[in-house]
Amino acid sequence: MKQNKKGIIFTDGGARGNPGPAGIGYVIYDEKNNIISSIGLYIGETTNNQAEYQAVWQALNKAKDLGFHELNLYLDSELVVNQLNQKFKIKNSELAKMFVKIWNISQEFKNIKYNYIPREKNKLADKLVNQAIDQALKQKPRL
Q: What angle do CA 51, 34, 134 make, to 5 degrees?
A: 35
For residue 15, is it within any domain? yes
Q: How far is CA 103 from the centre of its chain?
A: 14
Instruction: Give the count of domains, the chain.
Output: 1
Q: Mean pLDDT across the stretch 27-51?
A: 97
For residue 142, is it within any domain? no
For residue 90, is it within any domain? yes
Over residues 81-99, the pLDDT tens digits come to: 999 999 999 999 999 999 9
pLDDT reported for residue 139: 87
SS3 state of residue 35:
strand
For residue 1, is it within any domain? no
For residue 56, is it within any domain? yes
Over residues 121-140, the pLDDT tens digits come to: 999 999 999 999 999 999 87
Q: Could you list the residue range(s) of the whole structural domain that residue 51 is in? A: 6-134
pLDDT reported for residue 1: 41
Which residue in 1, 112, 7 sits closest to 67, CA to CA? 7
Q: Which residues, listed in sequence order, are joined to residue 113 by a DSSP beta bridge?
A: 72
For residue 140, is it within any domain? no
For residue 117, is it within any domain? yes
User: What is the pLDDT confidence band of residue 100, given thresholds at 50, 70 and 90?
Assistant: very high
Q: Which CATH number covers residue 113?
A: 3.30.420.10
Q: Side chain identity at 84, as an amino acid letter?
A: L
For residue 143, is it within any domain? no
Write down the pTM of the prediction: 0.94
